[in-house]
Amino acid sequence: MNEVTNFRIDPVLSQQAIDLSELCFRIYPQHFTYLWDDDGAWYQAHSYGASQLKAELDHPNVRYFWAIVNDQRVGYLKINLSKPLPQTQEPGGLEIERIYFLAEAAGQGLGTLLIEFAETIARQRQATYMWLHVMDSSRDSIAFYEKRGFNRVGETRLPFPQLKAEYRSMWQMKKVML
């Protein structure tokens, strides 16, 4: 892992929805097209259009943050400030919905920095736990989250018909805030 020396995290502003959309459309195909019958075209159009992202950026419970290295946006974090685990509805949860990076930014410890940033927000908001979904086929991601104190607490299946059946299972992972 390379050490990142010129890294910062900035909030994504509502008026930056187009910039966020462009980055999403760069990142997603680098990592996830193999999951889809249509190479992810439907999902990207559904999730990463500027109007969809603008609506999310304007939502009071949603926060996006840029991951910036050497003044270049190389990834982003999306969190939902107050969202319980679906199966328990236990209050006090902060969901980490997405941590994505350009392929060339991988392996630099940025994911750890964004997890630590999310933990800081969770503590500031007095969240009792953080949680996330991770594909059960993504063993590297599961190991990454386990190393950072997340444990499997449930499983769900994605309903998207364009998603290949063997990739629809997601784990729910939770970290109790101490």
Residue 12 burial by CB count (10 A; 0-12/13-18/19+): exposed, middle or buried? buried
C-alpha span between 96 and 152 (Å, rounded) = 14
Task: Name the residue among 125, 121, 141, 122 with its Cα closest to residue 133.
Answer: 141
The predicted-structure confidence for 70-83, as pLDDT tens digits, reads as follows 999 999 999 999 99
C-alpha span between 2 and 72 (Å, rounded) = 17
Q: For position 3, what pLDDT does the model report?
A: 59
Q: Would you say 5 and 63 are in contact if contact means Cβ atoms under 8 Å apart?
A: no
Q: For position 1, what pLDDT does the model report?
A: 47
3-state SS assignment for residue 129: strand
Residue 2: which pLDDT band, with cuts at 50, 70 and 90?
low
Residue 136: which pLDDT band, with cuts at 50, 70 and 90?
very high
Checking if the pLDDT of 160 tops 90, the result is: yes
Q: What is the mean pLDDT of the chain?
A: 95
pTM: 0.94
Checking if the pLDDT of 108 tops 50, the result is: yes
Q: Which residues, 6+ apart, have CB-to-CB distance to 57 below 8 Å? A: 12, 13, 14, 16, 17, 20, 64
C-alpha span between 57 and 94 (Å, rounded) = 16
Please give the domain boundaries of the chain with CATH numbers for all domains: 7-176 (3.40.630.30)
Pull the structure tokens for residue 170: 């997601």
Checking if the pLDDT of 98 tops 60, the result is: yes
Mean pLDDT value across residues 106-118 = 95
Other beta carbons within 10 Å of 164 = 11
Residue 178: which pLDDT band, with cuts at 50, 70 and 90?
confident
The predicted-structure confidence for 23-48, as pLDDT tens digits, reads as follows 999 999 999 999 999 999 999 999 99
